[in-house]
Amino acid sequence: MSAPTASAQPKITYSAIGGDLDAIHAGFETALATERGRFGGDHDALIGGARVAGGTRFTARSPIDSSIVLGTFAGADATNVDRAVAAARAAQPAWGRTPWRERNAIMHGIAEAIRARRYELAAILSVEIGKTRFESLGDAEEAADLIDYYAAQFEETNGFVRPLGKLAPNEQTQDVLRPYGVFAVIAPFNFPSSLVAGMCGAALLAGNAVVFKPAENASLTGAAMIDVFAQSRLPHGLFNGLFGDGAVGAQVVRHPGVDGVAFTGSREVGMELLRTVGAGGPYAKPVLAELGGKNAAIVSAHADLELAAEGTMRSAFSLQGQKCSACSRVYVEERVAEPFLKLLVEKTRAIVIGDPTLREVYMGPVIDQAAYERFVGAVRSAQNGGTLLHGGERVDGEGFDRGYYVQPTIAKLPLDHELFGRELFLPFLSVGVVASFDHALAEANRSEFGLTGGLFSHDEGEIARFFDEAEAGVLYVNRRTGATTGAWPGVQSFCGWKGSGLTGRGGCGPYYPAQFMREQSRTRML
């Protein structure tokens, strides 16, 4: 069976699949075979439209099998960073003056190019990140949808230009949003195509130039995304891509020629950026950041327990729990705790672990040794005062010896246990038994994070209170496909409250692109 053409590709999101499943799998497998033949190549930075070798080169390997060399990458040095920022500053003024409709047309072209390469991107990031087929395809699909959705906001607002009132008959005033200049974009490993497209796409649509650096352990997917932008109709220098570790990212975001930062990653790094970049110079700079979560689901006595167990399992263990929106805490009412936990453990035991490029696999390896060591530490902590209901071990044996494969783990813990407060980014679910819905809601809100939250209940009063009182930016009720996961552009905004975000307005929603611009009022006398 041949792969579907770009124009006939079915729609795939994190919670729904459209089209012929066999055709989708055939498309993925064809692309996977092609991409495996390309692994091991050299990848240079993109600066001013040209490929540029960096300082010290580094090699990337696959977490699903450490013997797979994905490629060799040019680690950027200080000279590369200077050149990239200078190229961006030189290209931005003309782009900022380009009519928004022309910018939209170019960016729509990039979205279409991503869709055309959807299977290629999915194959790469499945091997590089450890995502399953449909998680990988959803990541690539979302990348294109984010660009188109943000472009539509310029259509709806006439490029964010609106008339204002007047104090005199011969006065004309309008309000406009204008680009800042150059944005540094630092992306995480777990959504290495969608978040890149979302952050870079919004910045470019708004008239800014971009200096982009992917996560070091997502360099090959980053290289593929850089290629998409490089082959587009964007003027040279407007989009620049560098490779390297956190030290390179620090040089980029702190460069005096950078006017703003878009970042997805840890709360600690985001808060440091806010202090040192946002408020560390002669004037404030925008720092747009989504900073992780410790997301809770509540299982009420009025819940459909089978639905709750399915939604919780999917949300906790897809992508090995390595999502900022993953369900990492569950608070279940005491009178339904036993049957709920029985169902949850049964569903978790049925998870197929292995090479995530295979059709039947649901869970691949954690990303690296540091993640594995966090897993070992979390298990040890859970055993101190709690009870492991499932998991807690490394998966060994043939096919598992060259990657960090671990069991999906469920721990029943006292409510004051430290694991209810610590973000793990692992397939590790902490369960607390509570006396009532009120108790569950209070425990769910007792966190420094506030990204996503879920409720399973058929009591309308509980649902209303959850929407009104839960302290998180993304809320789901009775969602089988993911208790706390699954946001999609234009369907669910993805906004972190409290320690999960900096601006109070997140990606995937109607207020995101405007944050890449600053307001200007223009009055003229006629």
* Residues 22, 4 contacting (CB under 8 angstroms): no
Encode 93-104 in three state secondary structure. HHHHHCCHHHHH
At residue 10, the pLDDT reads 73
At residue 8, the pLDDT reads 53
Q: Which own/partner contact pairs does 373-376 have at CB distance under 8 Å and 24+ positions apart?
A: 374/424, 374/425, 374/426, 375/406, 375/409, 375/424, 375/426, 375/427, 375/428
At residue 14, the pLDDT reads 76
By residue count, the chain amounts to 526
- C-alpha 475 chain-centroid distance: 17
- Residue (of 211, 212, 216) closest to 244 by Cα position: 216
The pTM for the full model equals 0.95
At residue 7, the pLDDT reads 44
Which H/E stretch holds residue 86? Answer: helix 78-97
* Residues 443, 437 contacting (CB under 8 angstroms): no
Whole-number Å distance between alpha carbons of 244 and 230: 19
Whole-number Å distance between alpha carbons of 102 and 96: 11
Which H/E stretch holds residue 58? Answer: strand 57-61
Whole-number Å distance between alpha carbons of 269 and 289: 10
Catalytic residue, chosen from 120, 290, 423, 462, is: 290
As beta bridge partners, residue 517 has 179
For the chain, what are the domain ranges? Answer: 6-291, 295-488
Please confirm, yes or no, whether 290 is among the known catalytic residues: yes
* Helix, strand, or coil (residue 243): strand
Which H/E stretch holds residue 211? Answer: strand 209-213
At residue 1, the pLDDT reads 31
Q: In a structure prediction context, what are the per-residue pLDDT tens digits for the chain, which is 526 residues long?
A: 333 344 456 778 877 777 788 999 999 999 999 999 999 999 999 999 999 997 899 999 999 999 999 999 999 999 999 999 999 999 999 999 999 999 999 999 999 999 999 999 999 999 999 999 999 999 999 999 999 999 999 999 999 999 999 999 999 999 999 999 999 999 999 999 999 999 999 999 999 999 999 999 999 999 999 999 999 999 999 999 999 999 999 999 999 999 999 999 999 999 999 999 999 999 999 999 999 999 999 999 999 999 999 999 999 999 999 999 999 999 999 999 999 999 999 999 999 999 999 999 999 999 999 999 999 999 999 999 899 999 999 999 888 999 999 999 999 999 999 999 999 999 999 999 999 999 999 999 999 999 999 999 999 999 999 999 999 999 999 999 999 999 999 999 999 999 999 999 999 999 999 999 999 999 999 9
Alpha helices per DSSP H over 157-260: 194-205, 219-230, 246-253
CATH topology of domain 6-291: Aldehyde Dehydrogenase; Chain A, domain 1 (3.40.605)
Please confirm, yes or no, whether 448 is among the known catalytic residues: no
Catalytic residue, chosen from 200, 324, 495, 508, is: 324
CATH topology of domain 295-488: Aldehyde Dehydrogenase; Chain A, domain 2 (3.40.309)
Residue whose structure tokens are 């040095």: 77
Buried b (16+ CB within 10 A) or exposed e, 58-96: bebbbbbeeebebbbbbbbbeebbebbbbbbbebbeebb
